[in-house]
Structure 1
C-alpha cells in the first residue's frame, strides 16, 4: 500500500507541475500522503497553495488539531491581509478546541501580528494582551516574552513610551540569555523610546551598547538601525551636519534591504536638518522624496507629518499658490490616514496646521486664485504675447507627437516589451532555475496573464513558480526593465494593438481602456501610456480616427 501511495505522489507531483491549481479530486487523493511528504513539498514552493490545501484537508479528516493549525499558518504566507485575517480566525477556532494555553496564546499572538501589519494598532494590541493572558499560564517563556515585546512595540507606536520602556526592560533580561538578535532589537527599541521622551543620554547608552554588541556578536545587519537612531539623536542635539552625514551613509544600506520605512524617516530628518540651517533648497528634494513614498506606498507616520507643514511653508515663501494648495490638500489626506492608523498618538501631536486652519488656508488660496482670474482679463496684451509663445510651442509639440504616433503605427506589437536588451545584472541564481523561470515567463506573456488586475510582484512570482527576489532579478536581466515597468509596458502594447485593429475600442473612455488591460486606475493607465509612447491615449485615438 505504501508503494502505491508513493507512486501516486510522484504522479500527482507531475500533474502539479503541469497544471495549477490542482483539482479538488487530486487534492483529495494527495491528502492520503503522509505529513512529511506534504511539508517537504510546501517547503519547496511556499507560494503554491495546493499542497497546503491537501495538508489542511488531511488534518481535518483525521481530526489532527495541531496539523490543522500548522496548515493554516502555511496558507497565510503571501496572502492579502483579508485572507490572513480569515485564516488567523480559523487558527484561533482550532486552538481553542485544544484547551492548551500555549497553543491558544500563540493563536491570539498570530492574529495580533496580522492587525499590526495592517497598521490597525489598537486591535493588534488587544489580541496581544489576550495572548499574554494565556501564555503567562504556561512554561513557554520564549513565546511569552515575544508577545510582551510585541505589546511594547505597539505601545511605542501608539505613543505610550513610558509603558513601552518598562516592558522592553523586562524582556531584555530574558532575551540576553536566549536570543542575541532579539536582545539587540530590544536595545534598539529602548533607544527609540528614550529618544521620544527626549532622554538622549539614555538613548545614546542603548545605541552605543547595541552597536558594540552587534560587532562583537557578528550581527552586523543590525548596525544600520543603531546608526539610523544615533543620527536622529544628533538632530535633536542640534548637530545638523553630523545628522545629515550619518543618515546619508545609512540610506544606501536601507535601500539594499528595501526598508522604505526607515529610509523615509532618514530623508525627513535630512530635510529638517537642512531646514534648521535655513538651507531650504537643499531640504526640498528630501521633503519631496517623503511625499513620493506617501503617494506610492500610502505610508506616513505621525512623527513625519511635519514634512507637509514644511512643504506648505516652502511654497508659501515662494508665493507658489498652486503648490501650496496641493500640499494643503495632501496634508488633509495625511491627517485622515493618521487618524485612522494612529488615533491615540495623532491626538497628542502638536499640529501647527490643524484641520480648521488648513481648510481656512485652502479657502483663502482658492478665493485668491479666483480673484486673479478676474484680474487676468485686464492683461490682454500679456496674454496675446503668451498665446503666440504657446502656439509656437504647441506646433513643436504637435510635430513631436506626430512623429511618435508614426513610430507606433510602424512598430509591431510588443516590440518594446519583449525584445528589450538584457541588462548586465549579476543574478547569482542556479541556471536551471533561470531557464525554468524564463520558460514560465514566456508562457506568462503568451497567455497574457499580465492583463489581470492588481498584478503584483508576488502574483508574478507565483505564476513563474519562484520567489519575488528571483522573479524581479530575472525580469530585470532578461527583459531589461523593473517589474512594474515590464507589466505596464505589456499592458500598453496590448491596448495599442487593440486600438489599431478593432475600431470599437476607440469609442472607449480612458477608464474603460484601463479596465480592459487590468490597470487599477485611470491615472495609472494614462501615466503608463505616456511613459511608454510619449503621447496620451486620447491623442493616439484621435490620430487613428483621422486615418479612416
Structure 2
C-alpha cells in the first residue's frame, strides 16, 4: 500500500473512528513495524496530525498485543500529542496506569509530568501542582537530570502563577544553567519566565536584561519561536517603567504572533496593558476597546488573573463618568462573577480579592432603578459575608495554631541511631556513624545559625561530601538540606520568643539576623510556612498572654 493510499484510508478512518476509538482499524502495512519505527516517526510537535495519530494507534495496538506496558505508556504519550484536547487527560491517566505496571520511576515520573502539563494548559493549576509534586517523588529517585529539571520548571510555573515569585525565581535559576546546555527551547522558555518573575517583584532592570538576553540567544541558537514572547514581556515591563508609548508599540508588535499561536492568555495580557497604557496617557477612548477584551476572554474562556481584574474597575469608572448606567451595572455584575472565580482559583488571595476596589465607591453609585439597587445590595452582602467567613476562619485557625505551638515540646538534639538503612543509602556504616555524631554536634553547637549555610558548608562541618550529607540528613532528619536548616533556625527563634521576653521586642529583621537568615522576607516566609503564623502575630499573642 503506497503512502498516498494509506493517507486516503486513514482520512476515512479518522472521521469515522475518532469517536469510536475501540473500532480503530490498523492498516496491514503498519502491523509489522517495530517500536523504534513508531517512536522515530512521531515528532510530538505536529498536533492533530492524521499520519502521526495513525502511527500512535498502531503503536498502542502492538503494545497491547504484546503486553509491553513500557511501550504502552509511550504510545499513550504519543496519542496525547496527536489527539484532540478533550482526550488528552484520558490518555494521560492511561499512560500512568501502564507506566506504574513497569515500576520504572523515570517513566512513571514522565507520566505525571505529562499530566501536569495538560492540567496547567486546562488552567487546573492546583491539580497541575499536585501532578508535578508526584512526578518529583518518582523522578527524584532517578539520575535523569532532564526530567528532574523539567519537574522543577513545572513547579516554578505554578509558583509564579500563584504569586510566589521569589520561590519561582530560585527554581527557574536552577533550571537555567542545565537547559542552556541540554535544550535550547527550554533554555529560552526559562529566560522568559525569569523575566516575567523579575517584573512581578519590581526588578524591572533585571526583567529587561532577561528579555534582551532571550532575544540575543534566540538569534544565536537560530530559534526564533520565543522572540515575540520576549517582546511581549518587555512591553509589559515598559508599562511598569511608565514608558507607555513604548509599551504600546512592543505589545502591538507581539500580538500577531500570539494570535497565530492561539495563545489567548498572553494575547489577553497584551490587550490589558495596551489599554492600561492608553489610560495612563489620558486616552480613555482608545483604552476602553482593549480593556473590553479582558471581559471577552472571561466570557469565552473563563480566563482571569488578579492583575487583569482592574480592567473591570476602570470600565466601571469610565461608564459612571459617561452616565451609562446599563454598562456600569453590567461590568459591576460581571466583576462579582470574576471575584467568585478568583476566590475559587486563588484561595491564598481570598483576603485581598476585594482590596483593589473600594466598596464605598460602589455604595456611592446613584442608580435610580430599583432592580439595579437590588443587584448591587445583593452583591455587596455576598461580598461582606465571604470576607466575614474568611476572617473568622482565619482567626480561629491562627488561635489553634498558636495553642499547638505553645503546648508542643521543644525539639532538642535527638539521638541519631544507625540502623540497617545503611544498605539503602549505599554508604559505609562507619562513615554514617561518624556523620551522625557530627550532626548532633552541629545541632548542639547551633552551627545552623550561621548565615549563608550552604550544602557545601554543611558537608564541611559534617566532615563529608555534599552527596553523603544530603542523603544522611534526608534519611535521619526526614527533610531536605535547606528545609532542615530552615526548620532548626525557626525552631530556635520560637524557643527564644517563648522563653525570653527581650526577644519579643525585636523587629522581624533583628529576629531574622538572630537566626542567620539572609533577608527579613526569607525569615517571615519561613516562619509562616513552618508555623502557619506570622512572627508578628505570634509575638502579639505572647505579649497578650503575659499581660492577661
TM-score (normalizing by structure 2):
0.59
Q: Give a deviation string over 1:104-155, Cα, whole Å, max 9, x none.
A: 1111111111211111111111110111121122121112111111110111
- Residue pair 1:102, 1:138 contacting (<8 A) in 2 also: yes
- Residue pair 2:272, 2:308 contacting (<8 A) in 1 also: yes
| Cα distance in 2, alignment partners of residues 134 and 183 from structure 1 | 24
Name the structure 2 match of 1:310.
314
| Cα distance in 1, alignment partners of residues 186 and 39 from structure 2 | 27
| Cα distance in 2, alignment partners of residues 223 and 316 from structure 1 | 40
Within the candidate set 247, 251, 254, 2:255 is matched to 251
Distance of aligned partners of 1:14 and 1:164 in 2 relative to their CA distance in 1, 3 Å threshold: closer
Number of matched residues? 364
Distance of aligned partners of 1:325 and 1:80 in 2 relative to their CA distance in 1, 3 Å threshold: farther
Q: How does 1:335-350 map to 2 (within 5 A)?
A: 335-345=339-349, 347-348=351-352
1:138 matched to 2:150? The reply is no
1:21 matched to 2:16? The reply is yes
Within the candidate set 207, 210, 229, 2:211 is matched to 207
Name the structure 2 match of 1:46.
49
Q: Give a deviation string over 1:423-476, Cα, whole Å, max 9, x none.
A: xxxxxxxxxxxxxxxxxxxxxxxxxxxxxxxxxxxxxxxxxxxxxxxxxxxxxx
| Cα distance in 2, alignment partners of residues 364 and 120 from structure 1 | 38
Within the candidate set 49, 58, 64, 1:60 is matched to 64
Q: How does 1:27-426 map to 2 (within 5 A)?
A: 27=25, 32-35=31-34, 46-47=49-50, 52-77=56-81, 79=83, 83-345=87-349, 347-348=351-352, 351-353=355-357, 366-367=369-370
- Residue pair 1:46, 1:74 contacting (<8 A) in 2 also: no
RCO higher in structure (CA 8 A, sep ≥6) = 1
| Cα distance in 1, alignment partners of residues 244 and 214 from structure 2 | 23
| Cα distance in 1, alignment partners of residues 274 and 364 from structure 2 | 27
Distance of aligned partners of 1:350 and 1:203 in 2 relative to their CA distance in 1, 3 Å threshold: farther
Quote how far apart the aligned CAs of 1:63 are.
1.3
Which consecutive residues of structure 1, in runs of 5 or more, have no partner in the other structure? Answer: 1-5, 372-548
| Cα distance in 2, alignment partners of residues 188 and 112 from structure 1 | 20
When structure 1 is superposed on structure 2, of 95-104 and 336-345 the one drifting more is 336-345
- Residue pair 2:342, 2:353 contacting (<8 A) in 1 also: no
| Cα distance in 1, alignment partners of residues 41 and 16 from structure 2 | 15
Q: Give a deviation string over 1:515-544, Cα, whole Å, max 9, x none.
A: xxxxxxxxxxxxxxxxxxxxxxxxxxxxxx
Distance of aligned partners of 1:318 and 1:162 in 2 relative to their CA distance in 1, 3 Å threshold: same
Distance of aligned partners of 1:353 and 1:79 in 2 relative to their CA distance in 1, 3 Å threshold: farther
Name the structure 1 match of 2:511.
none
SS of 2:288's equivalent?
helix
- Residue pair 1:159, 1:345 contacting (<8 A) in 2 also: no
- Residue pair 1:47, 1:77 contacting (<8 A) in 2 also: no
SS of 2:91's equivalent?
helix
Distance of aligned partners of 1:328 and 1:66 in 2 relative to their CA distance in 1, 3 Å threshold: same
Which consecutive residues of structure 2, in runs of 5 or more, have no partner in the other structure? Answer: 375-548
- Residue pair 2:11, 2:50 contacting (<8 A) in 1 also: no
Quote how far apart the aligned CAs of 1:227 are.
1.7
SS of 1:69's equivalent?
helix
| Cα distance in 2, alignment partners of residues 17 and 165 from structure 1 | 46
Quote how far apart the aligned CAs of 1:223 are.
2.2
Quote how far apart the aligned CAs of 1:210 are.
1.8
SS of 2:307's equivalent?
helix
| Cα distance in 1, alignment partners of residues 49 and 172 from structure 2 | 33
- Residue pair 2:339, 2:353 contacting (<8 A) in 1 also: no
- Residue pair 1:328, 1:362 contacting (<8 A) in 2 also: no
| Cα distance in 2, alignment partners of residues 78 and 14 from structure 1 | 18
Quote how far apart the aligned CAs of 1:314 are.
0.4
Q: Give a deviation string over 1:349-399, Cα, whole Å, max 9, x none.
A: 564337x7798689956428689xxxxxxxxxxxxxxxxxxxxxxxxxxxx
Quote how far apart the aligned CAs of 1:307 are.
0.8
